[in-house]
Amino acid sequence: MNNKFLLLMICVIFCSCNNKSTQQIDLSGEWYFALDSNDVGITEKWYDQPLAEKIKLPGSLQEQGFGNDVDINTPWTGQIADRSWYTSDVYEKYRQPGNIKIPFWLQPDKHYVGVAWYQCEVQVPSSWNKKYIELELERTHWETSLFVNGEKIGDNNALQTPHRYMINRTGKLLLTIRVDNRLNIPIGINAHSVSDHTQTNWNGIVGNITLTARPTLHIDNIQVYPDVKNKKAEVVVSFAGSSAGKFVQVKIKGKSFNSNVIKELTPVNASVDCKSSQFNCTLDMGEEMLTWSEFEPNLYQLQVEIDTEEGKEMRSTTFGMRDFKVDGTRFSINGTPVFLRGTLECGIFPLTGYASMDAAYWEKIYRRCKEFGLNHVRFHSWCPPRVAFEVADREGIYLQVEAGGWGLVGDGGPADKWFMEESERIVKEFGNHPSFCVLTYGNEPAGGRQVEYLSNFVDHWKAKDKRRLYIAGAGWPYTTNSDFWSAYDPRLNFGIFGGQLNSIINRESPRSDFDYREATARVAPMPSVSHEIGQWCVYPNFKEISKYTGLLKAKNFEIFRETLEEHHLGDLAEKFLHASGRLQTLCYKEEIEAALRTPGFGGFQLLDLHDFPGQGSALVGVLDAFWDLKGYVDGKEYSMFCNRIVPLARMSKMIWSNNEVFKTSLEISYFDKQPLKNASVEWEITDTSQKILASGKSIKDLRQDNCISVSSIEFKLSDIKEPSKLTLTVRVGGTDACNRWNFWVYPTLLDKPQERPYVTSDFNDAVAHAKAGGNVLYCLSKTILKDDKGGTIKVGFSPIFWNTAWSGKQAPHTLGIYCDPGHPIFNAFPNDGYSDYQWWDIVTGSAAIVMDDFPVDYRPLIYHIDDWFTNRKLGLLFEVRVGNGKMMVCGADIIHDLDKRISARQFRYSIEKYMISPEFNPACEIESGVLKELIK
């Protein structure tokens, strides 16, 4: 420490009492502070010296400008799978001082890993003498040591629960807190409890920072164990400390508080021996007991007052009467079947870099989830603060909480002991919250003895506390004692990574009649909840950049925007966002509906409803990192296929000829509060003008289940003479439930004009005919493209999975197509300008032609939307003048098996119709040498 600060006097912070109690001092405000990057503070006794700099608490040091600037040597907490930023010429300008921009996650203004010291002086009133004085630090990151007037009081290594210290002193006290955010316990560098991928590895203290005077014999903890079946609740009040008296008087009363009718409970009064460590009693909840669920999140507040010789103390807790349990391969809440429709929350808080302590922000999160049809949130490898539970209680959200791990377990190392201790702390602190429905150690563990260790973890908790469900880990391992299987293969990709182009949506022609029953049948009967489904990407929303006004900045988005502009495509950013977003939404619809179609399925957990800014920038959300809309889908549309009640249609295909009979079977996924008798299930088929072509209605009793068969539809397509997009809409009368699917009908017989363009897949042949004044349709195969001209770009129907940086360039490499649907080339191939199922046959396996060497203002007719890391001008279809002729270059296969590939046949027909029309008049002349450079 600099000697010039040693003579500085510490100003007394006379902390005024807050409104909670005259027995509490609020320590929020200005503190003194020092960084200890060399970890010399203990040796040099900084705890007994005045610290020089000032900082505000609650808060982190990084958000207040302390720490180090980000550079190429920043010691990030988290794996960087793609390290090209450190070596590639592409990123060289972003490694320069003054222009540091990283692409792999959000970039903090300051970064710091190590020790920091926080200090304040407080006057503790003499009236607190002979009291138990407790310092509470609601949320710290991470380990703390407390010194009072130069004497060490203790240490605490809780990561996600409050740090509490006993200070039995009054008068002027110098409080010095050492905070260390290094990973001294190896819980996993990618765990969202600690990683820079999302909430950052911050250093500081947030939430309540208080000193509280309590009787020497005081309430340590209150736990409430609901018994819904018998309409009772067991209350366990634990005591700590001692009293000079013989007995402590205990008074317990409670009432509901957020329901239309207030229910007061019969009070309990008791005299308890002061030597007892706890008091147990059973509350009669009454015949009109209110229960908690997603449907009616009724809550009770319990108030416990004790009276001893040393004084009185009153503590309260909130609880709900609910029984969340396994029922066969399903879950139930108070006996009502439940289907978990969940998303992850990975500690993503861009403004602060740490979890929000604001109830309004958590209300935004949970209400957005409900708006999009969800009832469940999984906290991936972390546990949120108390306010997150409190708001979830009120909103009726089922939470999966994790003890903070994503790493090695079972090897006997310090993490094994810590995970057990941390889970104990979490349950003690938050166990009464009815929203707290699932507990596990964390995510995707490693280690040869993980099954043994995590099975013991599950056994321990199932024996100790039956208020919730327990699983060994998220994703794996499967253990027979887990309450359900967090399954990684009931999903379109049938696995996490490595699916490449083998997922159903890329491997098979579009259909909606498949499900995941084979995947769920591999284990003993228990609920299956699909792990981290989705992960479908969308193009960045550059308008989002201005929203990063706090610690974290979207420098990754700045890189992506700059590279797009360098490729002269900046004006297409919003169009790429919208087009890729519509494809992303379609993929999520298919993924979720497949889950709802699976018999006896337990639920799913999305990755994610909102963007995941880390691990290479995973733009997988239909919402941004702030839980805001991106503009291409809203909750009304999304909740059509993700909700308590969802109509479903099993279709064997989405593309039809007009000589066929359209067939589908209808079913309902129904998980509302009460069965619905005589439900009217109504359907209609309409065209783009909203003209009703066919309709029908069935009456069905609906109970809580899925795969409820309703009816079959048959509709002759012979009257559809033009290429058409039709829409099947299904509604459940008397509810808001409505779902719809687009399908396409194409004429079987196409007219054959006398004049047709010359069609070839041979480059030299194409150029020769064009130079001679011909009208040429050149079908370019991906196999002949040079590697740097698109030969290595793998195209599927779906967008990129997760992101190519983290997945090792896993295919597919594009984000769908974009075109102008009003262009005359599409007169016989109606479309909306983005990928839908009629494009599947066209884009699957097609060439993504790199056109960066074409004139800067040249635009293809159809774009493949490139990966945001490369932002190349990729063409699927483009027109040029070559010599005296005109050429249309198509990267799709529109030659082979057209009798079976109806969309491809219609697409070619539309192209040829355009090419023989006066409207085919390419404005740009390209030398044949430029085209020649595309091919091997």
pLDDT computed for residue 525 by the predictor = 87
Q: Give dist(CA 147, CA 564) in Å, integer.
A: 54
Query: What share of the chain in percent tops pLDDT 70?
Result: 97
3-state secondary structure of 882: strand
Kindly indicate the confidence band of residue 519, based on its pLDDT and cuts at 50, 70 and 90: confident
Instruction: Judge contact between 908 and 898, C-beta under 8 A.
Output: yes
Q: Cα-Cα-Cα-Cα dihedral of 418, 420, 423, 427, to 10°?
A: -130
Considering only residues 522 and 160, tell me which one the structure prediction assigns the higher pLDDT.
Answer: 160
Structure tokens at 346: 């990975």
Helix ranges, 478-554 (H): 504-507, 517-520
Number of Cβ within a 10 Å radius of residue 878: 23
pLDDT value at 171 more than 80: yes
Neighbours of 74 (CB within 10 A): 17
Residue 494's region, left for phi above 0, alpha for psi from -120 to 50, else beta, is: left
Question: What contacts 783, CB < 8 A, 6 or more positions away?
Answer: 791
914's torsion region: left (phi>0), alpha (psi -120 to 50) or beta? alpha
Query: What does the pLDDT look like over 274-287, one tens digit per residue?
Result: 999 999 999 999 99
% of residues, the chain, pLDDT over 90:
94
Q: What are the pLDDT digits (tens) for 899-919?
A: 999 999 999 999 999 999 999
User: Could you give the CA distance from residue 137 to residue 366 in angstroms, rounded to a whole number?
Assistant: 26
Asked if 432 contacts 223 with a C-beta cutoff of 8 angstroms, the reply is: yes
Rounded Cα–Cα distance for residues 520 and 502 (Å): 19
pLDDT the model gives residue 858: 96
| Region of 396 on the Ramachandran plot (φ > 0 left; ψ -120 to 50 alpha; else beta) | left
Asked whether residue 12 carries a pLDDT value surpassing 50, the answer given is: no
Strands 132-141 and 204-214: antiparallel
749 and 909 in contact (C-beta within 8 Å)?
no
Give the C-alpha separation, 552 to 617, whole Å: 14
- Cα-Cα end-to-end distance for the chain: 65
Cα 49 from chain centroid?
45
Distance CA 504, CA 533 (A): 13
Residues in the chain: 936
The model's pTM: 0.96
Contact between 82 and 806 (Cβ < 8 Å): yes
Amino acid identity for residue 834 in this structure: Y
pLDDT band at 2 (very low <50, low <70, confident <90, very high): very low
Query: Looking at residue 523, what is its pLDDT?
Result: 79
- Which 3 state secondary structure label does DSSP give 702? strand
* pLDDT classification of 495: cutoffs 50, 70, 90: low
Q: Give pLDDT, residue 22.
A: 67
∠ CA 497-499-504 to the nearest 5 degrees? 135
β-pairing, 324-327 vs 330-333, is: antiparallel
pLDDT given for residue 351 in this prediction: 98
Residues 590-613 have a mean pLDDT of 97
Inter-residue contact 120 to 27 (CB < 8 Å): yes
Mean pLDDT over the full length of the chain: 95
User: pLDDT value at position 15?
Assistant: 34
Closest CA to 186 of 416, 452, 458: 416
Amino acid at 577: L
Q: What's the whole-number mean pLDDT along residues 335-354? A: 98
Task: Find the mean pLDDT for residues 4-25.
Answer: 44
- Whether residue 105 is predicted with pLDDT greater than 70 in this model: the reply is yes
Q: How many CB atoms lie within 10 A of CB 461?
A: 22
Confidence (pLDDT) at 671: 98
pLDDT in tens, 759-769: 999 999 999 99
Structure confidence at residue 335 (pLDDT) = 97
Residue 6 has pLDDT above 90, yes or no: no
Q: What is the mean pLDDT of residues 573-577?
A: 98
Q: With bands split at pLDDT 50, 70 and 90, how would you rate the model's confidence at 498?
A: low
Q: Which two tokens stand for residue 791?
A: 């030969």
Residue 291's contacts (CB-CB under 8 Å, 6 or more residues apart) are 228, 298, 320, 321, 322, 334
Give the integer Cα–Cα distance in Å for 862 and 872: 14
Cα separations in angstroms, 195 against 106, 219, 403, 613, 826: 12, 35, 14, 12, 48
